[in-house]
Structure 1
Amino acid sequence: MNKKLIALALAALPAAAMADVTIYGTIKGGIESNKTYSSSLGFDSNGNPRSGVQVNDWISSIGFKGTEDLGSGLKAIWQVESRLHIDGTNGAANKASSDGFATRDSFLGLAGDSWGKFRFGRLSNYANSDMEQVDPGSYFGGYSDESVAGLGMFTRLDGRVNNALRYDSPNWAGFSFALLYGTDESRVTGTNGSRTNNQTWNLGLSYENSGFFGKYNYENWGDADQLASTKSWHRLEGGYNANNLYVALGYQQVEGYGFGSYYNSVLGAVANLAVLNAGATQAQINAAKLKTKEAAFTVGYSFGPLTPYFTYAKGYNASLNGTDISNSGYDQYLLSLNYAMSKRTSVYTSAGTVKWKGGISSENSFGLGLIHSF
């Protein structure tokens, strides 16, 4: 009886009210053996990270999206996307803003065939939505530098912006661009007594043709110098993806104040403490300009359903107020393999290591898991 009533109620709904909603998502996770400085496994008596086996989610998500044709080539577009955790956790405590309902790209906007699209809401910066070709893998993302089975450090600034407006251009013979603005709605009082204006500006440029691609990302964080954090960021990526061959190269430069933009958040705190012990005050550190430079390279080749990848990333010595910090860089090596069991399900495995300069213990990670898209 109840089933018949439900069926009749659904049949009575206007077809247009249901036809434009798409449910989509990705479920992925696996078993990992990790030894990293940001690991929840803790540290030994010498301050070195402990190793251990973990069952981890590899950033699963579910989303709902749709469009409405408004006529004359104009459409209303919307999306609500949320993070999932198939390992039963709700994410790291300091990453609460990335968990819950509508905390991934969620927006409302308009799109036109000839002029592109405009959206507002919580939106990805350009590097997060259109780049990361140097980082094709899947791995735990509790912290940006938690797992070294992927380029979590190189992509640490790829993310989403609250209270954002974004315009994406149409494609002109392979060329396109995107512009994002994130407002500072709080405008709190800064350390100098004046109101801050920590708005975000982000520009993305792209060219793609016959498998070749080149992309550029620039982002600026307004009055970030008052917060001892990231101020500006440039990234370039280029490569080739066609005929079973995958090649991607990347280079980025990040400038900030204090150690807010360092490669690894935990080691950044250690470096901060070392400078304090050398006689600098915390205020002096916060006002000092820190610059980091990194390069990354990934190559892969598909043999039927099998695609192996090799990745190398290098973090050069950071500099503070123009002076190099000795042995502050890193070298990262990563081998991964994706086996496509079907169009929607894959087996994925990877092994990576990060070698830090200056005698700091290396970090290691190995993972094996499944990926399913729907």
Structure 2
Amino acid sequence: MNKIFKPSLIAMAVSSVAFTAFPTIAEETDAKYDVYGIIAVQAHYRDYENSPSLTGFQTNNESRIGFRGSKQFQNLGPKFIWQIEGGYVDPSYSDHTSNGGFGERDTFVGFEDFESFGQVRIGRVLTPLYEVVDWPGANPGLGDVWDWGGLIGGAKFQDRSSNTVRWDSPEWGGMTFDVAYGRTKAAATGSDEGWWQGAAAHYKVGPFQFDAAYEVNRNTAESFQDGTLDTSAHDPSTKQTFNRVWDNNTYLVGVQGWFENGISFFAQYRIQDAEVTEGIDSGREEKQNAMTSGLMYNTGDWQFKVGYTKNFELEVNGEKVEDSSDDVISAQAMYFVDPSAVLYVRARDVTMGGNTVDSGNTGMTYDRWKSDSFNEVSIGVEYYF
């Protein structure tokens, strides 16, 4: 909708200066932009193992919209690119008012020239490692374990991160590279001094693609309150707050394959380590590895897919924490009602291990966040435009 504003004297003066500084306004014949998005709603029923208040029906509304474009500047070789994308309207089991903001997803400016340097973006984007964690590794419905699941301390990886500079290379003989650096959300608000950097490499040969990625996270702050493990060592009624700082390293290798008979697959393995560098239990070392896999078959307008993911047991200073592993198995049938739209049905079983770990303060433990185990059956629709 066009709106007409009555300009003030100040606005007129500013406009006059602007047009004096830039006397020629080029026609936007080489500027391109489009509106895009997805209408995605999933209705599911979950049966939680230990959380009866959450058991029941909910919807997961991942609908979102974005704007993106490019402009070939007259006096600059690389093409200018930009994007602004809103967040999910209403993810399940979350507070609607804290989601769906404009710019919540990939929102950036940058330049690209894939005949020379590739693409550089600044803003809010996926990290190179998380890009392959998210896809194909977390589908169908494997994210509770593979993505945000696990028990290791610190930050095993960022996902979509603001304050980021990212470079994506052109393709060189089937090989591409991604490199990025950024500050964490907590660092941006002064809560810690966290930063991260990461890289990924992808090599395509025949029907296969091989992926490798690495991400380092440094200076991640953690605050927690002790629970009581040994009542003879501590007063059960007393809780203290402790602070520490973590450094993390995460490594990922994976392979994908697509075959002419309609079968495709993926498999990834992730190695994660963490160390306390400051605060309570300085020198503490933790390790937790994980794997994910999926098999897909396309026939006509149908696609059938199964996936399995596992977080192995957490190790603290070389000792395994019993009952700390997680896994999920998922099966999905999808029907393409249109090249741009699908209907699907999905069933999955999510099994979460324990979340209690030794705090590092003699005789004390505390709980790290982890979802409860649950079974789920869902149906959904997705329309891309």
Q: TM-score higher than 0.5 here?
A: yes
Q: Could you tell me which residue of structure 1 aligns to residue 120 of structure 2?
A: 118
Q: Could you tell me which residue of structure 1 aligns to residue 169 of structure 2?
A: 169
Q: Distance in 2 between matches of 1:105 and 1:92?
A: 21
Q: Distance in 2 between matches of 1:110 and 1:150?
A: 34
Q: Which amino acid is 2:104 matched to?
A: T
Q: Distance in 2 between matches of 1:355 and 1:124?
A: 28
Q: Could you tell me which residue of structure 1 aligns to residue 364 of structure 2?
A: none
Q: Distance in 1 between matches of 2:95 and 2:280?
A: 27
C-alpha displacement of 1:204 = 1.0
Unaligned runs of 5+ in 1: 6-12, 138-148, 191-195, 259-281
Give the counterpart of 1:70 among 70, 73, 91: 73
Task: Judge conservation of contact 1:225–1:287 (CA < 8 Å) in 2.
Answer: no
Q: Distance in 2 between matches of 1:33 and 1:91?
A: 12
Alignment TM-score, normalising by the size of structure 2 = 0.72
Q: Does 1:56 align with 2:56?
A: no
Alignment of 1:244-255 (within 5 A): 244-255=262-273
Question: Which structure is higher in strand share?
Answer: 2
Q: Distance in 1 between matches of 2:327 and 2:108?
A: 38
Q: Distance in 1 between matches of 2:59 and 2:122?
A: 36
Indicate the SS of the match to 2:194: coil
> C-alpha deviations, 1:111-160, integer Å up to 9, x for none?
112210111011111134355213333xxxxxxxxxxx433321224621
Q: Does 1:150 align with 2:158?
A: no
> C-alpha deviations, 1:188-233, integer Å up to 9, x for none?
889xxxxx64111011111123331111121111222665557221
Q: Distance in 2 between matches of 1:101 and 1:21?
A: 17
Decide whether aligned partners of structure 1 residues 256 and 188 sit closer, same or farther in structure 2, where only a CA change above 3 A counts. farther
Q: Distance in 2 between matches of 1:369 and 1:182?
A: 35
Q: Could you tell me which residue of structure 2 aligns to residue 213 of structure 1?
A: 209
**Further displaced range: 60-69 or 149-158:** 149-158
Decide whether aligned partners of structure 1 residues 20 and 217 sit closer, same or farther in structure 2, where only a CA change above 3 A counts. same
Percent identity of paired positions between Structure 1 and Structure 2: 21
Aligned positions, number: 313
Q: Could you tell me which residue of structure 1 aligns to residue 232 of structure 2?
A: none
C-alpha displacement of 1:241 = 2.1
Give the counterpart of 2:252 among 221, 229, 235: 235
Q: Could you tell me which residue of structure 1 aligns to residue 51 of structure 2?
A: 43
Q: Distance in 1 between matches of 2:97 and 2:142?
A: 19
Question: Which structure is higher in helix share?
Answer: 1
Decide whether aligned partners of structure 1 residues 29 and 205 sit closer, same or farther in structure 2, where only a CA change above 3 A counts. same
C-alpha displacement of 1:73 = 5.1
Q: Could you tell me which residue of structure 1 aligns to residue 105 of structure 2?
A: 104
Decide whether aligned partners of structure 1 residues 184 and 361 sit closer, same or farther in structure 2, where only a CA change above 3 A counts. closer
Q: Could you tell me which residue of structure 1 aligns to residue 40 of structure 2?
A: 28
Task: Judge conservation of contact 1:225–1:231 (CA < 8 Å) in 2.
Answer: no
Q: Which amino acid is 1:82 matched to?
A: G
The alignment yields a C-alpha RMSD, in angstroms, of 3.4
Q: Could you tell me which residue of structure 1 aligns to residue 17 of structure 2?
A: none
Q: Distance in 2 between matches of 1:115 and 1:299?
A: 35
Determine which structure has more spread, i.e. the larger CA radius of gyration.
Answer: 2
Q: Distance in 1 between matches of 2:274 and 2:259?
A: 37
Task: Judge conservation of contact 2:145–2:311 (CA < 8 Å) in 1.
Answer: no
Q: Distance in 2 between matches of 1:109 and 1:189?
A: 27
Task: Judge conservation of contact 2:112–2:118 (CA < 8 Å) in 1.
Answer: yes
Decide whether aligned partners of structure 1 residues 18 and 26 sit closer, same or farther in structure 2, where only a CA change above 3 A counts. farther
Alignment of 1:1-374 (within 5 A): 16=28, 20-36=32-48, 43-44=51-52, 50-57=54-61, 59-70=62-73, 74-85=78-89, 92-93=94-95, 96=98, 99-112=100-113, 113-130=115-132, 132-137=135-140, 149-156=141-148, 157=157, 159-183=159-183, 186=187, 197-224=193-220, 227=244, 231-243=248-260, 244-256=262-274, 283-284=280-281, 288-356=284-352, 362-374=373-385
Q: Distance in 2 between matches of 1:252 and 1:70?
A: 42
Q: Distance in 2 between matches of 1:95 and 1:322?
A: 42
Q: Distance in 2 between matches of 1:229 and 1:93?
A: 29
Decide whether aligned partners of structure 1 residues 202 and 361 sit closer, same or farther in structure 2, where only a CA change above 3 A counts. closer
Q: Distance in 1 between matches of 2:97 and 2:267?
A: 29
Task: Judge conservation of contact 1:228–1:256 (CA < 8 Å) in 2.
Answer: no
C-alpha displacement of 1:100 = 0.5
C-alpha displacement of 1:82 = 0.9
Alignment TM-score, normalising by the size of structure 1 = 0.73
Decide whether aligned partners of structure 1 residues 219 and 35 sit closer, same or farther in structure 2, where only a CA change above 3 A counts. farther
C-alpha displacement of 1:356 = 4.1
Q: Which amino acid is 1:106 matched to?
A: T
Q: Distance in 2 between matches of 1:129 and 1:206?
A: 12
Decide whether aligned partners of structure 1 residues 184 and 28 sit closer, same or farther in structure 2, where only a CA change above 3 A counts. closer
Indicate the SS of the match to 1:152: helix
> C-alpha deviations, 1:85-134, integer Å up to 9, x for none?
1x5x79835994x6401111111111112210111011111134355213
